Chain A
Amino acid sequence: MAVVDHQLVNGPPRGLDLVGVLQRLHWGMIVLPAAWYPPEVVTELLTQVAEHVEEFVRHGYDVVCVGSPTGLAEPLGRLGVEMPDTITPASDAELAEFLTGREITNRGQLTDAD
């Protein structure tokens, strides 16, 4: 599961089709709050993202961050969860290589047969 920078999902394409790569490789995503929201809104939404990440990590899901997960380390730390591995890919190929090279401990609900 990928925790992704709002700007990478919604900003102008810069040689990276983030959603397309995640779709192709069957990764789900959690979109981080936009950086321009008022600070107290960002803080609250990041707390909620951290609670989601904690539940996935507790169940052995592979969680990564794509882009700049600014402010996520603090709420994760409060929950005793380390920051996931993070990548700021320059291309679809770089992101795909990063995701496919990982040792997956929990593939989620869908199996190879799906």
Chain B
Amino acid sequence: MLNQNAKCVGGALSPGIYSPLVEQLQEHGWEMVQMPCPELTFTGLNRFWAVREQYETLAYRRHCRRIVKGVAAAVEAHVARGDEIVLVGLEGSPSMGVRITSSDPERAGRPTWPDGSPELTAGRGILIEELMAELAKRGLPTPRAIGITQVLPDHSPEAARAGLKAFFED
């Protein structure tokens, strides 16, 4: 969200920084701590748009577990300082979905699928799953979480802004 360049080609809907999120964080005095993009450092900038099943491998799980150890350790340091932690993910993402991820067991081979979002399904992305597991393992509280909805077909900028405002005011 802070670096739209990390998105797969065609996935960035705003240049540079996703402003609606940053505006709400700054308006309500939240500190910004950025999570790494696990897909960027696994399949790179030229990766295809993918669903969970394509990332559901032992190697990718290991990659995410390595990443979340660092993230969870940072969360632990903030919790020890008495900070409240909230998690902001990206709905529809195979890795960063909080309530909606993407799934298509048949997707494989030459990437010629039509545009659209039939793969969207309820559930968490892989990195978010691994992060929650690592936080639980460390005895840390489960953070409140919200996902940015900009890739969902029913995304409304106004509703998204209102949702973020309500979340960060809470």
Contact = CB atoms under 8 A, between A and B. Distances in A.
Interface string B23-39: 00010000111101100
A22 B26 CA distance: 15
Contact of B77 (A26, A29, A37, A56): A37
* Residue picked from B5, B12, B26, B70, most chain A C-beta under 10 Å: B5
Contacts of A41: 70, 73-74, 77
Interface residues of A, number: 35
* Residue picked from A33, A40, A61, A109, most chain B C-beta under 10 Å: A109
Nearest to B33: A31
Nearest to B37: A52
Interface stretch (B14-22, B106-114, B156-164): B14-22
Given A26-B16, A27-B16, A41-B73, A108 B41 contact: no
Contacts of A22: 16-17
B40 interface: yes
A110 B3 CA distance: 12
Contacts of B4: 28, 108-110
A108 B70 contact: no
Nearest to B67: A48
Contacts of A34: 33, 74
A82 B6 CA distance: 20
Interface of A: 1, 6, 9-10, 19, 22-23, 25-31, 33-34, 36-38, 40-41, 44-45, 48-49, 51-52, 55-56, 59, 61, 108-110, 114
